[in-house]
Amino acid sequence: MEIRVNATRQELTRLKARVRMAKRGHKLLKDKRDQLMKEFLAIVHESQRLRQELEKKLSLAYKSFSLARAVLSPPALEEALMVAGGPEEVSISYRHIMNVVVPEMYITGRSPAQGSQPEEGRVMLPTYGLASTSSDLDDALAQFRGIMPLLVRLSCIERTIQLLADEIEKTRRRVNALEYVLIPELEQAVKDVEMRLEEMDRANASRLMKIKDIVRAH
Amino acid sequence: MDEFAWASAVGRIRVLEKGLLSKQELNRLAESRNLEAAIGSLRDSVYGPYFARLENVEDFDVALERFLADSYAYIGSMAPEPLVITAYRARYDFHNLKVFSKSRLLGIPREDKALSLLGNIRPEDFIGFLDTIDRDRDAGVARDTSLEDEKSERPDLVELKSVLARTYETLKSRVVNDANNTLGLSPLELDSLVDRAFYGWAQGVFRRFGYDGVSDFLSSEMDILNLKMALRAKRLGLPCSLFSNLALPEGNVPSEVLVDAYGKDGEKIKLAYKGTPWERLASEGVALLERGERLTAWEKSCDDALFRLIKKARILPLGPEPVIGYIAAREAEVKNIRIILAGKQSELSAGEIAERLRESYV
C-alpha cells in the first residue's frame, strides 16, 4: 500500500527517520531469526537423537514384555499388572530462548541419566507377587520405567520445537514485511517527497525568474 | 492313602499321555513361518478343535485356556480322591482370590481378563462366595455356621472354600489393621499372603493323604520358587524384612534359613541350598546375580529341573503322581505352545523362541 504523506521537508525528515528505524529493526529481527534458527536446528538434532534412542529402548522394552507375556498366562499377567506402580511426579520450570518461553520438565528425584534407577535410598517395590511371575516381567517393567525420563524429556523438546517454530515463522513474516513491504514503501515515499520538493524548488525558481523578467521589462 | 484306587485313573492317563506333544513336534512348531502357520500345524493335535473355534487367531490364549479347563474337568471326574486334584488345581482359585481381593480390599478396578477359568470355583460363583463372606462378617455370623448351607456341595470344595474364606478374612483384617498406615497392605504382600496360604494348604492336603511323591514335588516347587524369589528380590533391592514375608515356608530348605541367608550375601544363599538337588542351580543363579546378568535362561533351567522331577511319575504304576504329572505336563506344554505362538505374534526369531522352550514330558 502506498504511503500518503504531505510533501514537506519536515515530513521528509520524519520519513527518513522511519526508514532508518525500519532498517535497524529489520537487521535486529534478521539476527533474531538467524539465532532462533540456530537454536531450532540444535534442538531438532537433539530431538532426532532422543527419538532414535527412545525408539530403540521402546522396541527392546516391548520385546522384553512380549517375552514376559509369553512365559506368563494372560490371567497371571493381568493380575500382576492390576496395580500400577507408584506415581511419578513431573516438575515443570521455564526458560527463555530469544525471548521465547519454553518449558523444562523432569521427573522429580530422577535425572535422565538415572533412568530406571530409583532415587537413592528408595526401593521400587513390585506391585505383584514374585511367586507367580518371572524375572522377564521385572526386566520389562524396569525398562519401561527407564524410558519415562526420556519420554518426558522428548515431550519437553517437542514442545520447545513447536514454540520455536511458531516464533521463527512470526519473525520471518516480520522480516519479510520489513524487507519487501515497509522499507521499499518508505524509501519510495522518501523518493516521492524528495522529487516533489525538488519539483517545487524548480517551480519556485522558474517563477522567480519569470517575475524578475517582468520587473526588468517595466 | 489308597494308591490302588488310582489304578483306573492311571490307566486312562497312560492313554492321554500319547497325545502329548514331543520335543521334536514343539521345535517344528517353533520353526513355523508365522502365527497362522503355527496354529495350522496344531490343527491335527488335541488342540485342533479348540483352535478351529477361534474367530481370530490372535486369540490363541482363549483356546489354550479352554483346553486346559476341559483337561482339568476330565481329570477331576476320574480322580478317586477328588481333593488331591482339587488341591493341585486350587492355585487358580487362589489366583482368582488375589484378583478379587485387590479389587475389593485395595479398591483397584477389577480386571475380568485377570480371572482364571481353570479354578475349581467358577469366577461368577466366586463373587457370590465372597459376597456371602462379607455379608456374614457384617452380620457377625461365624463362618462355620454359614458353611452349613454348603452341605450339599462336594466335600473337597467345602474344604477349599473354607481355606479361601480364612485367607480372605486374614487379608481383610490386615487391610483393616493397616487402615491408618499410609502403606496399607501392598499388592506384593497380598499376593504373597495368598501364595503362602495356597502352598501351605495344598501341602497339608497331600501330607494328610500320605502321598509323599506329590508332597515332595510341592516342597521342591517351593524350594525352587523361594530360590527364584530370593534372587529376584535381591536384584530389586528388597529388604530382608520384606523377603521374610515372601518366602514360602513349606519347602525342604527351611524358609528361616533362606531368610537369614538373604540378609547376608549370595554365598550364604548358595550354602542354604548345599546338599539339595538345587545346589548347582543356586550357584549358577547367585553367579548371574553377582554379574548383574538376566535370569531368563536360569529360570528356564529351574523350571526344567522341577519338571525332570515330576517326569519320574511316568514310571510309577499307581497313585496320584502320574495324574498330577500329566496335569503338570499339559500345563508345561500349554506354556510352551504359548511361548511359541506369542513369539510368532511378536515376530521373534526361531532361536529366541527355542531358547525359552521348557522341557517336554515325552
**Domain boundaries, position B98:** 82-210
Contact B294 A135 (CB under 8 A): yes
Domain-embedded: residue B165: yes
Of A67, A78, A83, the CB nearest to B113: A78
Alpha carbon separation from B242 to A54, B105, B234 (Å, rounded): 34, 21, 11
Residue B125 covered by a domain:
yes
The answer to whether residue A131 neighbours chain B at the CB level (below 8 Å) is yes
Closest-CA distance of chain B to residue A125, Å: 7
Are B304 and B359 in contact by the 8 Å Cβ rule? The answer is yes
Q: What's the confidence (pLDDT) of residue A113?
A: 45
Inter-chain residue contact A74 with B65, CB threshold 8 Å: yes
Measured CA to CA, the distance from residue B14 to residue B3 in angstroms comes to: 16
Q: What amino acid is encoded at B118 in this protein?
A: L
Q: Is A124 on the interface with B (CB under 8 A)?
A: yes
pLDDT above 90 for A4:
no
Is B111's CB within 8 Å of A138's CB? no
User: pLDDT tens, A17-67?
Assistant: 999 999 999 999 999 999 999 999 999 999 999 999 999 999 888 888 888
A-proximal residues of B, 190-229, CB under 8 Å: 190-192, 194-195, 225, 228-229
Q: Is residue B19 part of a domain?
A: no
Whether B72 and B89 have beta carbons less than 8 Å apart is answered as yes
Cα B197 from Cα A99, distance rounded (Å): 64
Cell of B337: 505352545
* Cβ-based contacts of B232 with chain A (< 8 Å): 130, 135, 138
Using a CB-CB distance cutoff of 8 angstroms, which residues of chain A are in contact with residue B338? 70-71, 73
Q: How many helices (H) and strands (E) does chain A have?
A: 4, 2
Question: Could you tell me if B64 and B338 are in contact, meaning their C-beta atoms sit under 8 angstroms apart?
Answer: yes
Whether residue B147 is contained in a domain is answered as yes
Is the minimum CB–CB distance between B234 and chain A shorter than 8 Å? no
Helix (H) or strand (E) holding A105: strand A100-107
pLDDT of residue A40: 94
Q: Hey, is the C-beta of A139 within 8 angstroms of any chain B C-beta?
A: yes
CB contact under 8 A, A125 and B339: no
Asked if residue A122 has pLDDT above 80, the reply is no
pLDDT at residue A148 greater than cutoff 50: yes
What is each CA distance from B70 to A1, B21, B63, B64, B189, in whole angstroms? 85, 17, 11, 10, 32
Dmax (CA) of chain B:
61
- From B113's Cα to the closest Cα of chain A, the distance in A is 6
Q: How far is B12 from chain A (nearest CA, A)?
A: 27
Interface test with B, best of A73, A133, A136 (most B CBs within 10 A): A73
Give B319→chain A minimum CA distance, Å.
28
In a domain, B109, yes or no: yes
Rounded to the nearest angstrom, the minimum Cα separation between B221 and chain A is: 10
Please check whether residue B179 lies inside any domain of the structure: yes
Tell me which residue of B165, B227, B201, B222 sits closest to B88, measured CA to CA.
B201
- Tally of domains in chain B: 1
State which fold the A9-211 domain adopts: Helix Hairpins (1.10.287)
Q: Is the ipTM of this complex over 0.90?
A: no
pLDDT at residue number A185? 94
**Does residue A70 sit at the B interface (CB-CB below 8 Å)?**
yes
Residue B214 — φ and ψ, nearest 5°? -70, -40
What is the full per-residue pLDDT of chain B (362 aa) written as tens digits? 677 778 888 888 888 888 888 888 888 888 888 888 888 888 888 898 898 888 888 888 889 999 999 999 888 888 888 888 899 999 999 999 999 998 888 888 888 889 999 999 988 888 888 888 888 776 665 555 445 555 567 888 889 999 999 999 988 888 865 545 444 688 888 999 999 999 999 999 988 888 888 888 899 999 999 999 999 999 988 888 888 888 898 888 888 899 999 888 878 888 898 888 899 999 999 999 989 888 888 998 998 898 888 888 778 778 888 898 999 999 999 999 999 998 888 888 877 788 788 887 77
Identify the closest residue of chain B to A128 by CA–CA distance.
B188
Note the pLDDT of residue A101: 92
| Sequence ranges of the domains in chain A | 9-211
Position B271, amino acid: L
Strand partners, A95: A102
- Mark yes or no for CB contact B248/A79 under 8 Å: no
A vs B, Cβ pairs < 8 A, gives 124
* pLDDT for residue A111: 47
**Do A132 and B195 lie within an 8 Å CB cutoff?**
yes
Cα–Cα distance between A74 and B58 in angstroms, integer? 13
Burial (CB count <10 Å: 0-12, 13-18, 19+), residue A53: middle
Q: What is the pLDDT of residue B174?
A: 83
Chain A CB within 8 Å of residue B61 CB: yes
Name residue B296's amino acid. T
Please check whether residue B252 is in contact with residue B237, taking contact to mean a CB–CB distance below 8 angstroms.
Answer: no
Closest CA to B312 of B250, B361, B278: B361
Count of beta carbons in the 10 Å neighbourhood of residue B128 = 10
Q: Looking at residue A87, what DSSP letter applies?
A: P
- What are A158-205's pLDDT values in tens digits? 999 999 999 999 999 999 999 999 999 999 999 999 999 999 999 999
Chain B touched by A205 (CB under 8 Å): no
* Contact of A153 with A91, CB cutoff 8 Å: no
Sequential DSSP letters for B90-159:
HHHHHHHHHHHHHHHHS-PPP-GGG--S-SSS-HHHHHHHHHHHHHHHHHT--HHHHGGGGGGS-HHHHH
**Which of A66, A82, A131 has the CB atom closest to B229's CB atom?**
A131
Closest CA to B235 of B280, B302, B285: B285
Identify from B58, B112, B188, B335 which residue to disrupt to test chain A contact, counting A C-beta atoms within 10 A and taking the largest count.
B188
Local structure of residue A113 (DSSP, 8 states): G
Nearest chain A residue to B336 by CA: give it.
A71
Average pLDDT, chain A: 88
- Residue in chain B closest to A63 (alpha carbons) equals B346
d(CA B208, CA B191): 26
In a domain, B248, yes or no: no
Chain centroid to CA A137: 40
Residue A130 to residue B229, Cβ atoms within 8 A? yes
Q: Can you state the percent helix, strand and coil of chain B, rounding each to 5?
A: 75, 0, 25
